[in-house]
Amino acid sequence: MNYAVQMKGICKDFSGVRVLHSVDLQVEEGTVHALVGENGAGKSTLCKILAGFFPREEGEIVVNGEGIGKLNPRRALELGISMIYQEPNLAPLMTAAENIMLGQKLGFIVNRHQLFRRAEEILATVGFDLNVRLPVSYLSTHEKQLVEIAKAVSLDTRVLIMDEATAALTLPQREHLFAVMRKLTHQGIAIIYTTHILPEVFDIADWVTVLRNGENVGTHKVSEVTPEEVIEMMVGHKLSRAAVERGQVGSEVLRLENVSNLPEVRGVSLSLLQGEILGIGGLAGSGQPELARVIFGADRMDSGEMYVLGKKVDFKTPSDAIKCGIGLVPRDRKEEGLLPRICLGHNIVVPSLPALTRLKTILDHHQERAMVQNQICRLDIVPPTSGKVMEEFSGGNQQKAMIAKWLARKPKILVLDEPTVGVDVRTREYLYDTISELAKEGISLLLMSSDLKEVLRLSNRVLLMRKGRFVAELPGDPTMEDEALRIVTLTEQE
Amino acid sequence: MRERAALVVGLIRDYTSWIALAIVVVLFSNLAPAFLSVTNLMSILNAASIVGLVAIGLAFTLLAGGFDLSVAAIMLAGSMVFGTLFMNQHLAVGEAMLLSLVVTTALGLVNGLVITKVKLPAFIATFATMFAYNGMGIGLGGGAAIYNVTHPFFTFLGQGRLGVAPMPAVIFILVAIAAYLVLRTTPFGRAVYAVGDNDKTAHMAGINVDRIRIMTYMISGFLSGLAGLILTARLEVANVTQATIAGYSANLLDAIAAVMIGGISIFGGEGRMHGLIGGILLIFVLTNGIAILGMTITYHMLAKGLLILLAVGMDIYFRSGVSLRRR
């Protein structure tokens, strides 16, 4: 058996936390090797180590029977390892042909006709044709991916890594991509393919490796396993944590009827009760952040109706939603949640400024200080110095500050979008406790997360979202994780 | 120990311009005894007041993440509006002053609208309006200066004294205190900083980002207009012609130098009013001291250039220092 690449005992740390624990991966020539696992299982990290983007802490990489020392992206390319991303990385103003030939030595003076002809030849060997004279910015995502593949082929790639390559594709485009992949394997190229969508594994892959919490939990021939067995491996049988204790729920505070914001949100209806944690789970890209933005007034809905406390609302800006007692903790802390160079105290009071004034103009500094101290204690923000600039806090404490900013306003509804991404384990537990306490205090929470364990553990009810729609409702029960994962990964494509 | 070091660094950073100012003042007062006299200090304040007003307006736009290259042009246009209304249309002095300020505030509003609604980058939008407003100023006078612009009250504003203090300096100090209070103690001031630091976050916190930005350009327009009136009162002439405009544009460059030396970050969201005042004073103390010592303008230019490099360099150094520590 000829291995195109072997990775042995790969370990990787991110800021002191081990994310890959001695992972082995062996990929045969001329096969498609699927890499599956839940969010955060370590798929992308492993791929990026092989492509030379991340250094590894420990472990050996063998290509063509030879051990490889340090890797960087350039060295990886020389060894015949190329990586293709979900969003292709091309020079948008250059033609497809120029992009394909980018890594080649073309001599000092470039003959454009020759360049176009060679690009066309390369495209033909992988079986598609495209006007190579078009600038890349005119191409669809699918076509850009094909250009990336052609570029890889022109560089004599032996191992092609495709990270979530189908996430942005339509069904026919996906079929086309699979045809191209089969053609490549016939030429002896090995493909490492990560995906969230299990049926794809059974369509295209020869082998499947399952990662869970940074460990390889098994490599199997695809013909010898069933989807159910793969899901079982992904979830694991270790004891699920018990669901957190939940408080009493009251009457309805938020109702959505057939709300759409195409193409991400398609006809969503829900009802949120007082003191309830309503989880919205689903794979990344299912439309949760877009739904959160619509509820918060950051985006307008195309159609549908929204009611807060029984009153019909139509938010034009976040400020309208804030006035109705809604807060949003967005997933992208840096981009939308923090004022990085401004101090903690001022960050916390930003949405409350109008309420902190005397005669509507002058800030009441005493009241402000009290509000800030209150929230710093309430959420145990470390260090508790209100004058420290926000960007100097750790990720977990930044997250606490973002929640504090809304709590200071005493919100009725809090929308949390991926609240525990990028925070350490201890802070995560702390945030979980805080979230359930808030619900007991009567705040209603919408918890959006692609971490199914998280939503099942915290929520009273969980709505599963897929491609902008709710596809199922489950009770908030951590033991239902298999079922939830089955629903979000196996539901038929439209 | 580390905490104390951080505190010291923070203090130095907050008061950079004042520390530099103190050093320069000590230096000059030793080299030239005449430097520290009340008369001389007042004349420095008097000289600094016009650029100072312009720089405070400019600082508001910078703090909200914008820029205003049209400040000097607005100042001159305001001067010509007053000159035309008062001398040619024979309006009452109060009315002419008020209308001049309304016009300059409106010019700021135009800047704000072009930047927030048409979404042109502030640097480009105000670069363009700078030419337009200069043209407007020249057009108002028909290409000629308006002479003998005098009136007891008006001239008092430009040349009078309150005790030992020249009126322009009094106005400048009052405006600086007001600006300090607005930035520190009003929701608007906080919103300016929030918008300048991260406008997406500010929007998501319910702040009307466009309105805040537009208001900073209106403040800039208003203060430039005020500076224009004081300039006119001091010179007794509204003198915007093709021949003079390049010379007056030095006011813009001095205002930009003052905000940079004063620690108003060119990236928005950072900087304090007291730092800016220190920056303005530093520039004019240098001008004055170098003149008293009988040194040439060469040294003055050289000193200003080095100061800007130092100030902006520190801004960028401290910034990258933070991001390095985070990594």
A36 closest CA partner among A233, A179, A252? A233
CB contact under 8 A, B323 and A335: no
How far, in whole angstroms, is CA B263 from its chain's centroid?
Answer: 13
pLDDT of A494 over the 50 cut: no
Residues of B in Cβ contact (< 8 Å) with A323 = 206
Size of interface A-B (CB pairs under 8 A): 82
Query: Do residues B258 and B54 make contact, with C-beta atoms less than 8 angstroms apart?
Result: no
Query: Is the C-alpha dihedral spanning A189, A194, A200, A202 positive or negative?
Result: positive
Spatial CB neighbours of B324, under 8 Å, sequence gap ≥ 6: none
Q: Report residue B209 as tokens.
A: 């980002």
pLDDT in the model for residue A209: 95
Coil, strand or helix: which one is A162? strand
Of the listed ranges A302-306, A440-444, B248-252, the one predicted with least confidence = B248-252
Of residues B59 and A490, the one with the higher pLDDT is B59
pLDDT in the model for residue A73: 87
Q: Which residue spans within A119-245 are E strands per DSSP?
A: 159-163, 190-194, 207-212, 215-221
Q: How many angstroms separate the CA atoms of A77 and A92, rounded?
A: 21
A76 DSSP assignment: H
Query: Do residues A475 and A464 make contact, with C-beta atoms less than 8 angstroms apart?
Result: no
pLDDT in the model for residue A334: 81
Torsions phi, psi for A110 (to 5 deg): -95, 125
**Is any Cβ of chain A less than 8 angstroms from the Cβ of B186?**
yes
State the average pLDDT over residues A67-87.
86
State the average pLDDT over residues A400-429.
88
**Is any Cβ of chain A less than 8 angstroms from the Cβ of B205?**
yes
Mutation target for B interface from A329, A338, A339, A359: give the one with most B CBs within 10 A.
Answer: A339
pLDDT in the model for residue B326: 35
Of residues A150 and B7, the one with the higher pLDDT is A150
Assess whether the previous peptide bond of A135 is cis (omega < 30° from 0).
Answer: no
Distances (CA, A) of B174 to A150, A265, B181, B232, B233: 68, 54, 11, 19, 18
The residues that bridge with A160 in the sheet, in sequence order, are A82, A191
CB contact under 8 A, B205 and A389: no
Q: Report residue A174 as tokens.
A: 């996906």
State the average pLDDT over residues A88-109.
80
pLDDT in the model for residue A155: 84
Q: How many angstroms separate the CA atoms of A51 and A213, rounded?
A: 21
Distances (CA, A) of B52 to A86, B49, B84: 52, 5, 25
On the 0-12 / 13-18 / 19+ scale of CB atoms within 10 A, B121 is: exposed
CB contact under 8 A, A337 and B201: yes
Mutation target for A interface from B198, B201, B211: give the one with most A CBs within 10 A.
Answer: B201
Among chain A residues, CA nearest to B184: A363
Residues of A in Cβ contact (< 8 Å) with B7 = none
Distances (CA, A) of A168 to A85, A164, A467: 11, 9, 11
Q: For every residue of A358-403, which 3-state class applies, written as one string?
A: ECCCEECHHHHHHHHHHHHHHCCCCCCCCCCEHHHCCHHHHHHHHH
B216 closest CA partner among B100, B120, B122? B122
- The shortest CB-CB distance from B200 to any of A335, A346, A361 is to A335
Query: Do residues A32 and A185 make contact, with C-beta atoms less than 8 angstroms apart?
Result: yes
Distances (CA, A) of A377 to A84, A390, A404, B150: 46, 17, 10, 62
pLDDT in the model for residue A148: 87
Q: pTM for this structure?
A: 0.81
CB contact under 8 A, A342 and B200: no
**Shortest CA gap A337–chain B (Å):** 5
Of residues A317 and A89, the one with the higher pLDDT is A317
Residues of A in Cβ contact (< 8 Å) with B187 = 353-354, 356-357, 361, 363
Of residues B269 and A102, the one with the higher pLDDT is B269
Residue for token pair 């979000």: A488
Torsions phi, psi for A66 (to 5 deg): -115, 135
State the average pLDDT over residues A453-468.
91
Q: For chain B, positions 248-277, list CB contacts with chain A under 8 A.
A: 269-270
Residues A182-194 have pLDDT tens digits of: 999 998 999 999 8
For the stretch A474-490, what's the b/e string if a residue is b when 16 or more beta carbons lie within 10 angstroms of its beta carbon?
A: bebbbebbebbbbbbbe
Q: How many angstroms separate the CA atoms of A68 and A79, rounded?
A: 9
Q: Which residue spans within A274-316 are E strands per DSSP?
A: 277-281, 303-308, 311-313
Mutation target for B interface from A293, A329, A336, A414: give the one with most B CBs within 10 A.
Answer: A336
**Shortest CA gap A267–chain B (Å):** 24
Assess whether the previous peptide bond of A383 is cis (omega < 30° from 0).
Answer: yes
The residues that bridge with A23 in the sheet, in sequence order, are A10
Q: How many angstroms separate the CA atoms of B58 and B255, rounded?
A: 7
Q: How many angstroms separate the CA atoms of A336 and B199, rounded?
A: 8
On the 0-12 / 13-18 / 19+ scale of CB atoms within 10 A, A135 is: middle
Please work out, in degrees rounded to the nearest 5, the angle formed at the alpha carbon of residue B37 by the alpha carbons of B33 and B39.
140
Q: How many angstroms separate the CA atoms of B268 and A47, rounded?
A: 38
Of the listed ranges A40-49, A299-308, B109-118, the one predicted with least confidence = A40-49
| pLDDT band, very low/low/confident/very high, at A229 (cuts 50, 70, 90) | confident
Please work out, in degrees rounded to the nearest 5, the angle formed at the alpha carbon of residue A194 by the alpha carbons of A191 and A198.
115
Distances (CA, A) of A231 to A89, A208, A452, A466: 32, 12, 13, 17
Edge to edge, what strands does the sheet with A252-261 contain?
A265-273, A252-261, A303-308, A311-313
For the stretch B196-227, what's the b/e string if a residue is b when 16 or more beta carbons lie within 10 angstroms of its beta carbon?
A: bbbbbbbbbbbbebbebbbbbbbbbbbbbbbb
CB contact under 8 A, B207 and A319: yes
CB contact under 8 A, A346 and B194: yes
**Shortest CA gap B100–chain A (Å):** 27
**Shortest CA gap A443–chain B (Å):** 19
- The shortest CB-CB distance from B206 to any of A351, A361, A363 is to A351
Query: Do residues A470 and A264 make contact, with C-beta atoms less than 8 angstroms apart?
Result: no
**Shortest CA gap B71–chain A (Å):** 27
pLDDT in the model for residue A371: 95
Coil, strand or helix: which one is B147? coil
CB contact under 8 A, B204 and A361: no
Q: How many angstroms separate the CA atoms of A410 and A327, rounded?
A: 9
Q: Report residue A353 as tokens.
A: 């400024």
pLDDT in the model for residue A128: 78
**Shortest CA gap A438–chain B (Å):** 20
CB contact under 8 A, B205 and A298: no
pLDDT in tens, chain B (327 residues): 566 776 777 777 778 888 889 998 999 999 988 899 999 999 999 999 999 999 999 999 999 999 999 999 999 999 999 999 999 999 999 999 999 999 999 999 999 999 999 999 999 999 999 999 999 999 998 888 899 999 999 999 999 999 999 999 999 999 999 999 999 999 999 999 999 999 999 999 999 999 999 999 999 999 999 999 999 999 999 988 877 888 888 889 999 999 988 889 888 888 899 999 999 999 999 889 988 888 887 888 888 888 888 877 876 776 554 433 332
pLDDT in the model for residue B87: 93
- The shortest CB-CB distance from B186 to any of A363, A389, A405 is to A363
Distances (CA, A) of A289 to A413, A417, A450, B52: 16, 6, 10, 46
Residues A473-484 have pLDDT tens digits of: 998 888 888 888
Residues A235-264 have pLDDT tens digits of: 775 544 556 666 677 889 999 999 999 888
pLDDT in the model for residue A249: 79
**Shortest CA gap B198–chain A (Å):** 6
